[in-house]
Amino acid sequence: MKTIYLDNAATTPILLEVIDVISIEMANVYGNPSSIHHVGRKAKSMVETARINIAKHFNASAQEIVFTAGGSEADNLILRNAVTNLGVTTIILSKIEHHAVLHTMENLKKEFDISVKFVDLDESGNVNYAHLEQLLQESDEKKLVSLMHVNNEIGNILNLKKVSEMSIANNALFHSDAVQGVGHFNIDLKEIPLDFFVASAHKFHGPKGVGFAYIKRGFGIHPILHGGEQERGARAGTENVHSILGMEKALEISCLNMQEESAYIQQLKNYFIEKLKQNFKGIEFNGASASETDSSYTILNVRFPKEYVMLLFNLDLKGIAVSGGSACQSGSNMGSHVLHAILPEKEAIKTSVRFSFSKFNTTEEIDYVIFSLIKLIN
């Protein structure tokens, strides 16, 4: 049975060039970067070179990049520091943030005397910028805005520049979970002066278990993992050298080919949308996921006219890998918090499927998915 992988928002296949880098460096760069001998110094040099090269993609400086075990850890590091170290007493976010942000916020609220404000969303899940402005101006308390760049379930794109400008004008800090954006969209920090953002390598064809936090120069960051002075004191633990080097390579390739690949994937997504419309009556697209301008070219969230309890299972039997929402919640029976936040209950209970694409997908695969869906639900 062939496999058609359309769950790239959950994780992406690792590029062969990245696997080569990881394999070679695992064999040859085995030193501890904290060791003072030449074997350790070699590892340290390669980690710092990777840090410089990664920072260059964003017009950042190397000291603003902190390597982590992924996006969730990076979100935790930033949000906890905002409250415990940077004087933030009010956090502004939306109800459709990734759980790495929502659950961290919930725990911070239990531990500290902070205020949490939720910005209004329109029926497509887009941020109401007028309401955000209102929340920013409500008091003189130190505020942090935490809004994700690209929603991992419905693909909605946040206007980073607009929110950055609003935050600066109101003396607020701005953090963005950019896990679904990095490697797919250009983020130039000279044009969009973010205070914080996070990335995870496995979302742009790199290895799992490694990512980074961007922390604007000038913010003293206290670690949430203790036990060493690695990452300039921001994170204890021996650096994951070969994975960091793999992430560097994956980001290099993604940024180099971004324009060409984004055009190809968008064309593929448009083709899929047209085929769905042609073959299924009453089909809807959640959020702004069908929009070329307001949604990521990598994500399409499809709502079918009724509930098909076994649809994901039956697609899997046909070799088609997709998600019913966020794969991070694949073991949950509570459904998608994103869809529940933006849809009426009668719509939210219908079967929704997230299809997410990469450069490895083809129109032939899309045709097979359409053929399979026709057999399963028509």
Predicted confidence (pLDDT) per residue in 249-297, tens digit: 999 999 999 999 999 999 999 999 999 999 999 999 999 999 999 999 9
Q: Look at residue 14 and tell me whether its pLDDT is greater than 90.
A: yes
Give the Cα separation of 269 and 8 in Å (integer).
13
| pLDDT (mean) for 5-21 | 98
Q: Do residues 77 and 234 lie in contact, with contact meaning Cβ atoms separated by under 8 Å?
A: yes
β-strands 65-68, 352-356: how paired? unpaired
Q: Look at residue 318 and tell me whether its pLDDT is greater than 90.
A: yes
Q: What's the maximum distance between 2 C-alpha atoms anywhere in the chain?
A: 67
Q: Do residues 13 and 357 lie in contact, with contact meaning Cβ atoms separated by under 8 Å?
A: no
DSSP string, 155-224: -BBP-HHHHHHHHHHTT-EEEEE-TTTBTTB---TTTS--SEEEEEGGGTTS-TT-EEEEE-TT-----S
Confidence label for 329 from pLDDT (cuts 50, 70 and 90): very low
- The reply to whether 255 belongs to the active site is no
Give the Cα separation of 149 and 143 in Å (integer).
19
The b/e string for 365-374 (b: 16+ C-beta within 10 A; e otherwise) is bbebbbebbe
Number of CB atoms found within 10 A of residue 80's CB: 19
The b/e string for 123-144 (b: 16+ C-beta within 10 A; e otherwise) is ebbbbeeeebeebbeeeeeebb
| Catalytic residue (one of 26, 236, 328, 377) | 328
Number of CB atoms found within 10 A of residue 291's CB: 15
Number of CB atoms found within 10 A of residue 346's CB: 7
**What tokens does 166 get?**
């609003």
**What tokens does 330 get?**
């694949």
Q: Look at residue 326 and tell me whether its pLDDT is greater than 70.
A: no
Confidence label for 330 from pLDDT (cuts 50, 70 and 90): very low
Confidence label for 2 from pLDDT (cuts 50, 70 and 90): confident
Please give the C-alpha separations between residue 154 and each of 81, 131, 285, in angstroms, as whole numbers. 29, 21, 9
Q: Look at residue 152 and tell me whether its pLDDT is greater than 70.
A: yes
β-strands 173-177, 143-146: how paired? parallel
Strand partners, 354: 301, 323
- Compute φ and ψ for 300, nearest 5 degrees: -135, 120
What residue ranges define each of the domains in the chain, with the CATH number in brackets? 4-12+258-377 (3.90.1150.10), 16-256 (3.40.640.10)
What pTM was computed for the model? Answer: 0.95
| pLDDT (mean) for 130-138 | 97
Give the Cα separation of 146 and 246 in Å (integer).
28
Q: Look at residue 367 and tell me whether its pLDDT is greater than 90.
A: yes
| pLDDT (mean) for 95-107 | 97
To the nearest 5 percent, what fractions of the chain are helix, strand and coil? 40, 15, 45
Long-range contacts of 117-121 (CB under 8 A, 24+ apart): 117/90, 117/91, 117/92, 117/93, 118/92, 118/93, 118/94, 119/92, 119/93, 119/94, 119/147, 121/94, 121/95, 121/96, 121/341, 121/342
| pLDDT (mean) for 167-186 | 98
